[in-house]
Amino acid sequence: MKIKGAVLREANKPLTIETLELEPPGEGEVLVKYVNTAFCHTDLHYMLGEMGELVPYPFVLGHETAGVVEEVGPKVTKVEKGDHVTATWMIPCGKCPQCQRGRGSICTGNLWTLSAGQLPSGATKMTDKNGELVFYHIFVSGFATHMVIPEDGAIVLPKELPLDQGCFMGCCVPTGWGSITKKAEILPGDSVVVFGMGGVGLNAVRAAALSNANPVIAVDIEGSKEAIAREFGATEFIDSSKEDPVERIRTETGGLPVEGLGFLGGGVDVVVEAIGDPGAYIQAYWCLAAGGKLVAPGIIPAGQEAPMQLTFLPLQEHSILGTLYGSISTDIDIPRYAHMAMTQDLKLDKLITKHFKLEEINDVAEAMKRREIIGRWVCDLD
């Protein structure tokens, strides 16, 4: 069938909106009519070549998506035609050492097909108008009107959850929530700082607030993000373009500046870096109390470095914890988050501040580069 998709043919070039040929679903695969896909900063990293060219060109970009199952291939048992689903960008193989330890979000078995722009089976499904292969973007390729994905990558969502919120179940909700509840293992009363008030950081703030963390301090270099940070539950907002968040947080929490060593004492239990900026990583680290955890979903562009002064890493038992997909189990945790979105106020309606058309996607990327996006902008794929 013919589909429309946003194709990245080269880093640092605009996406092209192309008509592509999509093969029908094979065994264990489903055809999904994508309805909404949100623009995540990882998409921008790929457009700017900041992921070290992990996926071969050309590929259809996008990975935070939700849609409706239109057709199922042979032997599909998990989903049915008409189901609402999100597509996951990590599909645990179940066999590799990480999967066998219950850590499917860092599955290494399927990493090779992911980075080859294929489905876990090795299949590719798309060709362009010249009959040339077009690859997958991390098993999802969300900026397209339709896509064939494996049933293992399709997670059923409640039909009552609007699809423009359901798409967040594909990335920023699990990443933000998992950073707080899975990786930081937050306890009521823990003090939290979140750097970066984008889709990931706002969900981390919401998770911290609903987990009774206190205080929940939001940091962003754009003062325009203050209102949404507070809406999601931040008790304090620091505009890091105007003041040094380390100095403010360490002194507010009882720390003292010490010549040559930065600060001693004070600091918070958990800091989340949800930006991917070397300078912000260093600031985030210096906000930690003794025994504190720096949880790091933010992806620093390939080729950039964050020089860290780590004298206190052993002396104060700091932890620096990378997290992919919020360290979740996609099959178990995404349905839980979707259920929570129906029963608690995750504020997902407030996360959407703009709907856009596929043809406008390059403007959206430019707006994200300029840090103008408040919350998430969501593509309508009609």
Ligand X SMILES: NC(=O)c1ccc[n+]([C@@H]2O[C@H](COP(=O)([O-])OP(=O)(O)OC[C@H]3O[C@@H](n4cnc5c(N)ncnc54)[C@H](O)[C@@H]3O)[C@@H](O)[C@H]2O)c1
- Residue (41 or 137) nearer to ligand X, CB: 41
Q: How many CB atoms lie within 10 A of CB 97?
A: 11
- Residue (191 or 330) nearer to Zn ion, CB: 330
Residues 6+ apart with CB under 8 A from 132: 58
Contact 328, 182 (CB under 8 A): yes
With CB atoms as reference, the residue minimizing the distance to ligand X is: 198
Quote the CA–CA distance of 236 and 230 in Å, as a whole number: 7
- Residue (123 or 324) nearer to ligand X, CB: 324
Q: Which of residues 274-293 bind ligand X (CB under 6 A)?
A: 274-277, 279-280
Paired sense of beta strands 319-322 and 288-296, if any: parallel
Paired sense of beta strands 29-38 and 64-72, if any: antiparallel
Residues 34-73 vs ligand X: string with x where CB under 6 A?
A: ------xxx--x----------------------------
Q: What is the DSSP secondary-structure string of 257-271?
A: EETTTEEES--EEEE
Residue 107 contact among Zn ion, ligand X, none, beta carbon within 5 to 8 Å by kind: Zn ion
Binding residues for Zn ion, total number by CB under 5 A: 9
Residue reference for tokens 């707080």: 180
Q: Which of residues 238-267 bind ligand X (CB under 6 A)?
A: 240
Torsion sign over Cα 197, 199, 204, 207: positive
Closest C-alpha to 216, from 200, 198, 195: 195
We find the least distance from the C-beta atom of residue 41 to ligand X, in angstroms, to be: 3
Is residue 183 close enough to count as binding ligand X by CB under 6 A? no
Q: Which of residues 308-347 bind ligand X (CB under 6 A)?
A: 323-325
We find the least distance from the C-beta atom of residue 242 to ligand X, in angstroms, to be: 11
Is residue 93 close enough to count as binding Zn ion by CB under 5 A? yes
Quote the CA–CA distance of 348 and 97 in Å, as a whole number: 35
From candidates 104, 201, 255, 267, binder to ligand X by CB under 6 A = 201
Closest C-alpha to 103, from 264, 278, 263, 321: 321
Closest C-alpha to 43, from 224, 225, 171, 201: 171
Is residue 171 close enough to count as binding Zn ion by CB under 5 A? yes
Residue 109 contact among ligand X, Zn ion, none, beta carbon within 5 to 8 Å by kind: Zn ion
Residue ranges that bind Zn ion, judged by CB under 5 A: 40, 42, 92-93, 96, 99, 107, 109, 171
Residues forming contacts to ligand X in the complex (CB under 6 A) are: 40-42, 45, 171, 175, 195-201, 219-222, 225, 240, 274-277, 279-280, 297-299, 323-325, 368, 371, 373
